[in-house]
Structure 1
Amino acid sequence: MKIVKILGGLGNQMFQYALYLSLKETFPQENVTVDLSCFHGYHLHNGFEIARIFSLHPDKATVMEILRIAYYYPNYFFWQIGKRVLPQRKTMCTESTKLLFDKSVLQREGDRYFDGYWQDERYFIDCRRTILNTFKFPPFTDDNNLALLKKMDTNSVSIHVRRGDYVGNKLYQGICDLNYYREAIMKISSYISPSMFCVFSNDIEWCRDNLESFIKAPIYYVDWNSGTESYRDMQLMSCCGHNIIANSSFSWWGAWLNQNSSKIVIAPKRWINLKNCGFMLPSRWVKI
C-alpha cells in the first residue's frame, strides 16, 4: 500500500498528484491512494483545486489505512503540531529538506506514506503522456482569455513574475529579481524573435513599471484571472510558444504542460535559498 499526502497550492498539488499517478503505474499490484485530510482547516489557497479544475477522482485512503503506516491528522492544525513532535515511522517517506532526489520512491515495494512536494520530474517523467492527459484544462469561455489565445503564435512568450508572498521571504527573495528577467528576455530573444510577451503576476503594477523598458515586442498584462479562476493563468502559459518562469511551481507547470515541441523554457538556475540544495530543473530547460 502506498499513500501520497496532498496539500498546498495548485502547483504543488499537481506535483503530488503526478507522483500518485507514477506510483500507480510503477506498482500496479499495490493499492495506491491519496490522503486529503490536511485540507480541513487549510485556508492558504483554494482547497483541493485539481479535483475541480481537472475533474479528478483519486482513490482516497481511509483513516485506518493511514494509521497503519503513518499518523492520521483530522485537520491542518493537528498536522502542523504532529509533524514536529511525533517520531518518523519506518513506513513514512518524508521529502529531504534539501530537496534531494530519492530514487527509492520508485523502487521500494511495500507500505509507504509519502509526505512532501516532490518537485522533480524524475519522479514521473516515465508517465508523461498519462500526466498530460490528466492535466487537461477545461476550454476557455470568457472573452479576455479567448481574445488573448487567438493572438498567440509559436513565437509568443509567457513571463511569470511572482512577488507578493515572495517579497521579504528569505527562502525565495533575490532569485528572480529584475536582473533575472532582463537576462531571460535577452536570452530568449537570442533564440527567437518574440511576437508578443504575456505577463502573469500577482503584482502587475511592478511589472508595468519595470519590464517595459527592455521588451521590444507587444506586451499583454494578464490581470483578469483571479480567485478560483486563477488557474487560467497557468493554462494560458501552457498555450504560449515559449516560457520565462519564476521559481514557482505554478509557472513550472505552465512550462511543462506547454506541448510546443520546439519550446524554449528559461528558468532560474537557483530555485530556493538553501545551501547544498538538490533541486533539479528539467535538463532541456535553459538556466540563468
Structure 2
Amino acid sequence: MTSDGTTTMAGHNDFGRFVVLSLTFGCCSIVFYVFTQQDVIIHKFAKSYLVTITHSSNETQFTGKNNYKISEKPLKLQNISTKSINNYVTMNFKGRLGNEIFEYASLYGIARHNYMIPVVGDKFRLKRIFKISLTSVKPVANIKRFKEAKACAFDEKAFVLNKKYNWTLSGYLQSWKYFIDYSDDIRKELRFQNAIQAQAVQKFNEIVKATNVTDKNKLTYIAVHVRRGDMLHDKPTVRLGYTTANVSYVNNAMSWFKKKYPSAFFIFASDDIAWCKANFNKPNTAFITQRNSAEIDMAILSQCNHSIITTGTYGWWSAWLSGGQTIYYKDFPRKGSGLDRLIERAQAQTIQKKQLLLMDGFFLQIAGFNKTGK
C-alpha cells in the first residue's frame, strides 16, 4: 500500500512486462530464423549455380560422333555478393516441347542477367526429359509479372527487372539474346536423361542398320525435320502467316550437303512422314516411322552432325542440340502476313537457291532463325 492509501499490482505489472518481453523475443527469433533460412537457400543456390558451376564436355554420342566440346573452365561472373541474390524468377510455361525449351532457356538467361534465382515447379515437364538442375521453392510473395512487349523479338527490359520484387515471366520469349551468354550452361541443362538418350541411340542405330550401311562411322549424318500438319491444314495458323517448305527446298538442301559431304546420310522426322517418303525415298536416306514421343525423336535427331529444318521451334532446338551446319527454309513466314510483321529477321548466308539459308553451329547460337528475334 502506498502513502496515499492506494494499492499497487506489482505482481501483475511484472507479469505484463514478462509477457511483452517474451513476445518481443519470440518475434525477433522468428524473423532471425526466416532471414537465416532464406540466406541458406540463397547461399546454396549461389554456391551451386552462380559460383562453382564448371563447364564440362557433352557426353560422347554413342554414334561415334561428338559434335560439341564445352571447355572446362569456371564461369566468369561479375563481382557479386550472395547477400544480393534475394529475388526469384519463374515462368508461366506453355506450348509444346520446342516452346517450353525456349521459355526455359530464356528464364535461365534472364534470371542470370538480373542476378536473380531462376526456379521451376516441382512437376516441370522438362525435368523428366533433360538433366535440369534448377530447383523449386515454395510460393513466394511480392510477385510482379513481366510480359514481353512483342512476340518473336528480344525485349531489353527483361534484363533490368526491379529487384524489389520476385518475377513471373510471361510469353514465348523466342529470342536467342535472352540466353546466348549462357549457351554452355544451357547445353549442360539440356542433356537428355539417360533412359531417353539410351533409347534414342538404340533407335538411331536401328534406323541406320536397316538401310544395310556397311560402316556407319564413315557417314556424315544429316537430320531433316519437316513440319507440315497444323501449318498446312489449320486455317487460323495459315492465315497468320505460317508456311510449309516445298519439295524443291528439301531437294536443294540435300543436294548442297551431298556436294559438301559425299558420305551424307539423311534421317527424316516429320508429322507427315508419308509425304516425306513419297518425295525423298532415295539412297542413303532413312525415316523415323515409329510413333515415338517428341523427346525421343528430338534425341534421335540430335545424334546427327548437321541439320535441314523447315519451320517451328521443335526443329530449331533439334538443330541447336545437334550443332554443325543448319539449312533453314528462307520463305517463312509468308511475306506481308501478321506473323511477318512480328518477326525481326536475322541475317544469314544465302546459298545456291533463294530458298536456302545456311547457318553453322556458332551462327545458329548467336543469330538464330525462325522467331528468334533480332
Partner of 1:210: 279
Structure 1 residues 154 and 128: CA distance shift in structure 2, 3 A:
farther
CA distance in structure 2 between the partners assigned to 1:166 and 1:104 by the alignment: 32
Partner of 1:41: none
The residue identity in structure 2 corresponding to 1:195 is A
Contact 1:54 1:135 in 2 (8 A): yes
Structure 1 residues 20 and 252: CA distance shift in structure 2, 3 A:
same
The residue identity in structure 1 corresponding to 2:357 is K
**Displacement of 1:284:** 7.6
Selected match of 1:141 from 186, 194, 199? 199
**Considering only CA atoms, is the larger Rg found in Structure 1 or Structure 2?**
2
Contact 2:257 2:264 in 1 (8 A): no
Indicate the SS of the match to 2:327.
strand
Structure 1 residues 60 and 95: CA distance shift in structure 2, 3 A:
farther
CA distance in structure 1 between the partners assigned to 2:332 and 2:124 by the alignment: 25
CA distance in structure 2 between the partners assigned to 1:5 and 1:284 by the alignment: 35
Indicate the SS of the match to 1:239.
coil
Structure 1 residues 93 and 56: CA distance shift in structure 2, 3 A:
same
Taking the TM superposition and a 5 Å limit, the aligned residue runs for 1:272-287 are 272-273=333-334, 274-280=339-345, 287=357
CA distance in structure 2 between the partners assigned to 1:15 and 1:282 by the alignment: 20
Selected match of 1:33 from 106, 119, 123? 119
**Structure 2 runs not aligned, ≥5 long:** 1-86, 210-215, 351-355, 359-374
**Displacement of 1:95:** 4.8
Indicate the SS of the match to 1:69.
strand
Structure 1 residues 54 and 196: CA distance shift in structure 2, 3 A:
same
Partner of 1:195: 264
Indicate the SS of the match to 2:268.
strand
The residue identity in structure 1 corresponding to 2:343 is G
CA distance in structure 1 between the partners assigned to 2:128 and 2:208 by the alignment: 22
Contact 2:222 2:265 in 1 (8 A): yes
Structure 1 residues 120 and 284: CA distance shift in structure 2, 3 A:
farther
Which string of whole-angstrom CA distances, capped at 9 and with x for unpartnered residues, describes residues 119-151 of structure 1?
222211110111111111123237433434783
**Structure 1 runs not aligned, ≥5 long:** 37-46, 71-91
The residue identity in structure 2 corresponding to 1:33 is V
Aligned pair count reads 246
Higher RCO (C-alpha under 8 Å, 6+ residues apart): 1
CA distance in structure 1 between the partners assigned to 2:277 and 2:126 by the alignment: 31
Structure 1 residues 131 and 281: CA distance shift in structure 2, 3 A:
farther
Partner of 2:27: none
2:299 is aligned with 1:224: no
CA distance in structure 1 between the partners assigned to 2:158 and 2:173 by the alignment: 10
CA distance in structure 2 between the partners assigned to 1:34 and 1:224 by the alignment: 32
Indicate the SS of the match to 1:236.
helix
Selected match of 2:253 from 174, 184, 192? 184
Structure 1 residues 234 and 152: CA distance shift in structure 2, 3 A:
farther
Structure 1 residues 94 and 59: CA distance shift in structure 2, 3 A:
farther
The residue identity in structure 2 corresponding to 1:25 is R
Selected match of 1:254 from 309, 318, 334? 318
Partner of 2:132: 56
Structure 1 residues 281 and 211: CA distance shift in structure 2, 3 A:
farther
Greater shift, 144-153 or 272-281, is seen at 144-153
Contact 1:95 1:115 in 2 (8 A): no
Structure 1 residues 209 and 148: CA distance shift in structure 2, 3 A:
closer
> Cα RMSD over matched residues?
3.0
CA distance in structure 2 between the partners assigned to 1:15 and 1:267 by the alignment: 18
Structure 1 residues 18 and 202: CA distance shift in structure 2, 3 A:
same
Contact 1:243 1:265 in 2 (8 A): yes
Selected match of 2:158 from 98, 101, 105? 105
Selected match of 2:177 from 96, 101, 122? 122
Structure 1 residues 152 and 51: CA distance shift in structure 2, 3 A:
farther
Indicate the SS of the match to 1:56.
coil
Indicate the SS of the match to 2:307.
strand
**Displacement of 1:60:** 4.3
CA distance in structure 2 between the partners assigned to 1:155 and 1:61 by the alignment: 44
Indicate the SS of the match to 1:276.
helix
State the identity %: 23
Contact 1:3 1:33 in 2 (8 A): yes
Greater shift, 194-203 or 47-56, is seen at 47-56
2:105 is aligned with 1:18: yes
